[in-house]
Amino acid sequence: MQGILLLLPDFGLILLGWALYRLVDFGATFWSGVEKLVYFVLFPALLFKALASTRIDFAAAAPLFASGAAALACGVVLGLLAGPLFGPNKSAFASRFQCAFRFNSYIGLAVIGKLHGAAGIAAMGILIGAMVPLANVASVWMLARHGNLGVLREMARNPLLLATLAGFVFGSSGQTLPAAAAQLLGRLGEAAVALGLLAVGAALKLRGSSGAHGASCYLLAVKLLAVPAAALLAASSLGLGGVYFDTVIVFGALPTATSAYILAVRMGGDGPGVAWLVSANTLAAMFTLPVWLTIALRY
């Protein structure tokens, strides 16, 4: 109950975005613009400010990275086992495989920010920064037979990763953000959460699964049940506590990001199938994420 009440406003924004997309004729270009604004400007500003204002002890954060990597590896390994479930449809498997481990940074930052404020955003920011390259490598590796997209180029253009690195460098320099800059970044960060969650809702697509329902349900269970369980086991074994413990559990329990769909389309994969699975992941996470969050808060 505690987790449900805590996340109710955030999931309410996702459902509102879904309703607005279908009931109000803003036009597809409007929502595309909102998503680009959030991705390239608002969330990078949120991450940069949090990291630039927080001193990170990377020695203490080492178990955080190890726990996140263990959760991600669990998704990759169990995702590989789904191959035979897709039969001869190798393109569908290569495309949907990434839905077993990719994570929605927007939801993660919104949830952990509500729990722990700037400290939580900073912790999630450095974890995302460390896990994005690993997730991209695994995803592109599987899709490589269907297209040609450079992993290094994609990481070099990822605004969330760049903002994480820039924020860490600034924070490590010992400098303090000027008041005006801090206030500007704060305003952008405040807009990031609401618009980001609305954009997640607008992107939900519940049609076009392209078959292989059993295999898709297996990948859904891997992402929302097995991966957070692995995160919990790793975090407990490594003695994580406080904000880092909560960050790892939230990270593991996140639904798949819409970037999985974008990557599948750009590399000639099964776009409609991935879009359906990402949407199913997001909707199912409305029930599973509060449960994992409650477990984390009571652990």
In CATH, what number is assigned to the domain containing residue 104?
1.20.1530.20
Segment holding 231, helix H or strand E: helix 227-237
The whole-angstrom separation of Cα 29 and Cα 202 is 12
pLDDT at 147: 47
- Name the residue with higher pLDDT: 22 or 10: 22
Identity at 23, one-letter amino acid code: L
Kindly give, in sequence order, each residue whose CB lies less than 8 Å from that of residue 5, ignoring residues fewer than 6 positions away.
none
The whole-angstrom separation of Cα 208 and Cα 271 is 9
Average pLDDT, the chain: 84
Share of the chain above pLDDT 90, in %: 28
The whole-angstrom separation of Cα 272 and Cα 91 is 12
pLDDT at 46: 82
pLDDT at 209: 57
DSSP letters spanning 131-163: HHHHHHHHHHHHHGGG----HHHHHHT-HHHHH
Kindly report the number of other CB atoms within 10 A of residue 203's CB atom. 21
Two structure tokens written together for 26:
């803003």
Identity at 272, one-letter amino acid code: P
Sign of the torsion angle spanned by Cα atoms 42, 46, 48, 53: positive
Under the banding of pLDDT at 50, 70 and 90, the label for residue 11 is: confident
Question: Is the pLDDT score of 125 beyond 90?
Answer: no
The whole-angstrom separation of Cα 170 and Cα 299 is 34
pLDDT tens, 86-115? 887 788 888 889 999 999 888 898 899 888
pLDDT tens, 54-89? 776 777 789 999 999 999 999 999 999 998 888 877
Distance of CA 16 to the CA centre of its chain: 20
- What's the mean pLDDT in 132-136? 81
Q: In the chain, how many domains are there?
A: 1
Read off the pTM.
0.81
The whole-angstrom separation of Cα 298 and Cα 22 is 38
* Residue keyed to tokens 């996340």: 7
pLDDT at 3: 58
The whole-angstrom separation of Cα 219 and Cα 6 is 27
Closest CA to 203 of 277, 129, 131: 277
Identity at 149, one-letter amino acid code: L
pLDDT tens, 279-291? 889 889 989 999 9
Question: Is the pLDDT score of 221 beyond 70?
Answer: yes
Under the banding of pLDDT at 50, 70 and 90, the label for residue 298 is: confident
Domain range for residue 172?
A: 2-298
